[in-house]
A and B are shown apart, each in its own frame.
Chain A
Amino acid sequence: MLKVEGLTVRADGVELVHDVSFSLAPGERVGLIGESGSGKSLTALSLMGLLPEGVTATGRARLGGDDLLGVPESRLKGLRGSRMSMVFQEPMTALNPLMRVGAQVAEVMTLHGRPRGEARERAVELLDRVRLPEPARLARAYPHQLSGGQRQRVMLAIALANGPGLLICDEPTTALDVTVQKQMLDLISEVAPALLFITHDLAVVASMCERVLVMYGGRVVESGPLREVFTRPRHRYTQGLLAASRLTPRGTRLPVIEGSVPAAGHFPGGCVFRNRCPHATPTCETEPQLTEPQLTDPAPGDPAPGDPAPGDPAPGEPTPGEPTPTGDRHAFACWHPAE
């Protein structure tokens, strides 16, 4: 239903997102993970047509039969909030402080042509669906009168109002307490149609998604079924992220990724991770392509593993050597993958 090919985002001649490709089937839940500055939010914003002034996206993205890139705002307006919608990280800045929350939920429906009275009734139903207590009464409240968790539920009600086929969530629970986060994640799992879930929290993505894309330096460096990527990471960046996510016993050193994420435009050429990678060699000055390991081994002279992990989907028939970035199988872009 969503197909993204060669998405590239630029600002002032600096490439912020480079050649990102993936697809999302109806009902599928895909996680987009990476650190701040990896380009995951820009990827989502370009799909929604919400890039800031001066930032442009090229490539191809289709939602069902509609193009999302390079089309006029008037066309996107009809899709945004209706066929696809987005829940942002900070509900306090995303909601209008001067408007009652019920009216904000109703607005997204009247904007897409629903009669006012009907929209108002349906708004209360939606607030009930996201499990807000006393929805009729709460519809009359202003955002500041709600807790952070309640506000994020209102955001979700707005996102779901027109029955979208695709829901994009950008760090929807980062600002919430853990117990509230749990409730919110359970709710999103329950109500989301197809889901593109952006987070820096690997444990959260593991609880939500079936498939995952790992981004670093504006590129997808590894992708595949979540379980496989997380139990057998191949890219050294993914491996480092997973190691850093596990808290070792007290008194021991925590594993870290040395250094920090470079500023936009300051990533090294070739493999974007090579200046922080403990395994980097001169080979890494050449850019590795995102490929599936079973068919094409990127490390020359290294025997192809060819032993699909248990639960691996049946191998397809892509041409060896050709990047298969939109495939559902485990792919990575690394010259010295972890075994």
Chain B
Amino acid sequence: MPSHAGTPPNDGPLIEVRGVSRVYRRPRSSFGRQGGVVHALRDVSLTVQRGERHGIVGESGSGKSTLLRLLCALDQPTAGSIRFDGREITGRPERALRFLRENLQIVFQDPMSSLDPRMRVRDLVAEPLVGLGLPVGNRVAELLDAVGLPAGAAGRYPHQFSGGQRQRIAIARALAPRPAVLVADEPVSALDVSVRGQILNLLADLVDELGLTLVFVSHDLSVVRHVCETVTVMSAGEIVESGPVDDVWAAPAHPYTQALLRAVPTLEGLL
């Protein structure tokens, strides 16, 4: 694969989040809670190095989805700064975010709702290229081959594929503009366990072959441990623990991480 032309040489971290907070206003009070503001993220800082496989773990309400939206510049932080390849991405209008859109792509949890059911696979995979005004050429065939789908898949619709195959389509689409960073938001949570391995193996291969940086979001620390070297554990909008995943796995320091590890049922522990 060609190198990522247009990426300026930079030795600093690829993604740098500094003191980011995001406050939402709650429209009305809810049962058992006070109304008012919700601190979805409080003073979050994290760094992702080039080529790193970084896992983000947390449960619903932990702020991991908010953090992802901010990383992808789909939302703006209330405070703090996010730099991608040394360039600030917060507060910029969409037209000034082309460098980010070309270099950071996302794979969502549910491939059924992230793929337009009325578009053929060919158009779905080419869409990021068309959107960025890049040449399509025979890139679609190349991508389908890279994710292990037959060339004939191009003319079909998403509903004609199984969940695992749809996730392959979503990965092919994300890779279309040759991004430097792949963000995967719970990419295997909706899949059966027999297919989970296929997708995780594929992601690992692609990350290796293309030299990608991977941000992998999951509620399952054991999946993150298989995929990533480093992990950030989030709870209630804050980072409670971060570091090499093997260290966090072996000796979780924060009570929340400990509870999370205890709660995951494992076959090894039960048999």
Contacts and interface: CB of A to CB of B under 8 A. Distances in A.
A200 B59 contact: no
B264 A178 contact: yes
Contacts of A185: 265
B198 interface: yes
Contacts of A203: 264-267, 270
A149 to B, nearest CB: 10
Contact of A178 (B32, B219, B271): B219
Q: Which one of A206, A248, A249, A255 has the highest number of Cβ atoms from chain B below 10 Å of its Cβ?
A: A206
Contacts of B265: 182, 185, 201, 203-204, 206-207
Interface in A228-283: 230-231, 240-242, 244-250, 253-257, 260-261
Interface stretch (B92-100, B132-140, B175-183, B189-197): B189-197
Interface in A128-185: 133-134, 138, 141-142, 145-146, 148, 177-182, 185
Interface residue tally on B, bucketed by range: 35 or more
Interface stretch (B42-50, B102-110, B114-122, B220-228): B220-228
Given A204-B265, A206-B265, A260-B165, A145 B197 contact: no
A182 B264 CA distance: 8
A254 B195 contact: no
A237 to B, nearest CB: 9
Nearest to B58: A177
B60 interface: yes
B225 A256 contact: no
Contact of A177 (B60, B226, B268): B60
B141 interface: no
Nearest to B268: A246
Nearest to A254: B197
Contact residues of B: prevailing secondary structure:
helix
Given A178-B219, A254-B200, A260-B162, A207 B270 contact: yes
A178 B265 CA distance: 9
Contact of A249 (B226, B266, B271): B226
Interface string B183-212: 000000000111111101100000000000
A35 B198 CA distance: 15
Contact of A257 (B194, B228, B260, B264): B194
A202 interface: yes
A189 B200 CA distance: 33
Given A241-B193, A260-B164, A206 B267 contact: yes
B267 A202 contact: yes
Contacts of A227: 271
A253 B199 CA distance: 11
Interface in A115-139: 133-134, 138
Q: Which 10 A-B pairs have the closest CB atoms?
A: A145-B31, A254-B197, A177-B59, A256-B197, A257-B194, A203-B265, A260-B162, A182-B263, A35-B192, A206-B270
